[in-house]
Structure 1
Amino acid sequence: MLPSINSILSRLRLKQLRLLIALGEQGSLIKAAEQVAISQPGATKALQEIEATFGTTLFVRTHRGLEPNDLGHCAIRYAKLIQTDLGHLRDEMIGILQGHGGRLAVGTIMGAVPFLSEALSALLERRPTLSVEIVEDTSARLLKLLDQGRLDVAVCRTSISRQPELYDSLPIRQETLAVVASRAHPLASRETLELADLAESRWVVYSANMPMRVTLEREFHDAGIHFPTQLLETTSAFTTLTLLQKNPNLVALLSIDVARFCTAFGMTTILPLRLRNTSEPYELITRRGATVSPVARLLIDQLTSSPSFEQGTDGTSSADRDVGHDP
């Protein structure tokens, strides 16, 4: 059994983490020792202390040198994350000391990218030295990163969480969906379409149980049409667009904001099919009880003051609900 987190924290030192990273990069104790500027005996002792701290072997000796086992790969990966986080800590502290700059980590689902990009562009005009990390992923993944403290704020949905009460959230925009295809699609020139016209098409869709996929399945159900079984599943907008370009017979479901952006640049066309069902609104989300950084507060204010901001589905606005306020 691995030691407790308190035991690990009390024994593990930053220089040992540097050695772990160097061992992963060099595969040699001698070269790793040189990289972190310690003697070979010192490196040997440090490695023994690291493995004693975790209570398990992390490396195996081979004819090529030291190779990490599965636990060693895991330890190296997290050592790199800690090193990266410390670099972000330093950058943010420098920004605070200088009275400007700072660092912001924000997550977004694909459909909210145009809306978020508009707000970030306006924010960067006000804070040109601000450093921003943008993570595009599914709501489930973004909430997990928010839980881990790796995101300051996320634009996604709490409905996929088993514990939505862990978050402060504000519905900020209703997601309207559109069916898109290549401009060379056989039905691209039609003035009107019904869902039955696309029943035999191969669709590029999100994975099962995701809000956009559920909406499409409901659309087929309400129309009395069997949902297609030959699907291409992806959460990547770039993959979706590439597939549409490579195969003009494919169709895909995108948020209207993304669809309009892609169509404006000639990458797709919006097919004239009116969907009766709407997807869930996406939300502006922070971790409940967590302190919101000043730069995250600036982004929240920018998003909720944007001309594209919509009131919550319950009629409340940003002034009526708490999102990202310190407890």
Structure 2
Amino acid sequence: MVPSLASIASRLRLKQLRLLIALDERGSLHKAAEQISISQSGATKALHEVESLIGTPLFERQPKGLVANEMGRCMIRYARLIHSDVEHLHEEMLSIMQGQGGRLSVGVIMGAVPLLTRALTALRLKQPQLSVELVENTSATLLGLLDQGRLDLAICRTSVGQRSDAYDCIELSEEPLAVVASQDHPLTGVGFVQLSQLSDYRWLVYPKDMPMRQALERELNEAGLQIPRYPLETSSIFATILLVQQDPTLLAVIPAEVAAFCEQHDLLVKLRVPLRALNEPYGVISRAGADLSPAATLLIHELQQALTT
């Protein structure tokens, strides 16, 4: 039986988590004990304590040494996450004590990346010792990371979350969309293109139920056109660029600002197709009632300033 959360929280110690990580890296109790500067008997006792708490062995003895089983791999994965968070805590404490910039974790949807990069560039000129972690993903994933406390801020939409009242939101911008293709696409160089002219081509789209996918399907529905069948799906702009470049029959919908960047650098071509912005603007999101760090507050200010430049 899996132990209760209260039992895990009260009995699991950082020393035990460090041992699990060391065992995964070194494959033996002797070497793991050396790595974290404890005796081998101390390592044996600590491993026994963890396995007694969980109620099952975490490692199997094989010719190459101790190898984690499925439960062991699960424990090691979370041990690394917890240890990483403690390292970040230590770094931020040092930064505060030394009067330096601190640390900031920010999530962002693809369409807001250009805005965020402008804001971060301005912020780091003022706070050169600020350490920033940047995570690009879908709104749903970013809200999950925000809920877990792994992000300080997320630039995304709250409509895909289960509880909109769980967040504070400062609205930033709408997200105009553009249709892009490779430079070898048959429609490249054509003047204004109607949506009906796109129906014979294959599409690369955002995953189902995501706002950008819904916007494309809404546009096609209102034009009386069929939703693309058997599309390629990805939320990665890098994958989008490579796939569209390599397939002259492929079309994709991406944020207009990202499309402009791709066209400026001869990566993709923006077709002159009229598309509306998404219905819901994106904003900078934080957990409801959370005390924002000075760095997070400064970034919000720079995001608002970047909208006007």
| TM-score, normalization by structure 1 | 0.91
2:143 aligns to what? 143
SS in structure 2 at match of 1:159: coil
Is 1:184 aligned with 2:171?
no
2:243 aligns to what? 243
Instruction: Work out the CA distance in 1 between the residues paired with 2:6 and 2:278.
Output: 48
Matching of residues 7-26 of structure 1 within 5 Å: 7-26=7-26
SS in structure 2 at match of 1:207: coil
Aligned residues: CA RMSD = 1.4
Q: Does the CA-based 8 Å contact 2:100-2:129 persist in structure 1?
A: yes
1:320 aligns to what? none
Instruction: Work out the CA distance in 2 between the residues paired with 1:60 and 1:280.
Output: 52
The aligned amino acid for 1:208 is K
Deviations 1:79-103 (A, max 9, x none): 1111111111111111111222110
The aligned amino acid for 2:134 is I
SS in structure 2 at match of 1:188: coil
Q: Which runs of 5+ in 1 are unaligned?
A: 310-327
Displacement of 1:279: 4.3
SS in structure 1 at match of 2:299: helix
Instruction: Work out the CA distance in 1 between the residues paired with 2:268 and 2:293.
Output: 39
Is 1:117 aligned with 2:128?
no
1:52 aligns to what? 52
Moved over 6 A (4+): none
Q: Which runs of 5+ in 2 are unaligned?
A: none
Matching of residues 1-327 of structure 1 within 5 Å: 1-276=1-276, 278-308=278-308
Instruction: Work out the CA distance in 1 between the residues paired with 2:277 and 2:152.
Output: 32
Displacement of 1:302: 1.4
Could you tell which deviates more after superposition, 202-211 or 275-284?
Answer: 275-284
1:318 aligns to what? none
Instruction: Work out the CA distance in 2 between the residues paired with 1:178 and 1:307.
Output: 19
The aligned amino acid for 2:21 is I
Instruction: Work out the CA distance in 2 between the residues paired with 1:99 and 1:30.
Output: 41
Displacement of 1:275: 1.6
Deviations 1:129-166 (A, max 9, x none): 11000000011110011011110000001000121110
Displacement of 1:53: 2.2
Instruction: Work out the CA distance in 1 between the residues paired with 2:122 and 2:37.
Output: 45
SS in structure 1 at match of 2:306: coil
Q: Does the CA-based 8 Å contact 1:33-1:43 persist in structure 2?
A: yes
> How many residue pairs align between the two structures?
309
Instruction: Work out the CA distance in 1 between the residues paired with 2:217 and 2:226.
Output: 9
Q: Does the CA-based 8 Å contact 1:176-1:279 persist in structure 2?
A: no
Q: Judging changes above 3 Å, is the alpha-carbon distance between structure 1 residues 277 and 294 closer, same or farther for their aligned structure 2 residues?
A: closer
Q: Does the CA-based 8 Å contact 1:218-1:277 persist in structure 2?
A: no
Instruction: Work out the CA distance in 2 between the residues paired with 1:119 and 1:278.
Output: 22
Q: Does the CA-based 8 Å contact 1:115-1:308 persist in structure 2?
A: no
Instruction: Work out the CA distance in 1 between the residues paired with 2:123 and 2:277.
Output: 34
Deviations 1:258-284 (A, max 9, x none): 111111111011101112463421111
Q: Does the CA-based 8 Å contact 1:177-1:279 persist in structure 2?
A: no
SS in structure 2 at match of 1:183: coil
| TM-score, normalization by structure 2 | 0.96
The aligned amino acid for 2:123 is L
Q: Judging changes above 3 Å, is the alpha-carbon distance between structure 1 residues 276 and 122 closer, same or farther for their aligned structure 2 residues?
A: closer
User: How much identity, in percent, do the aligned residues show?
Assistant: 54
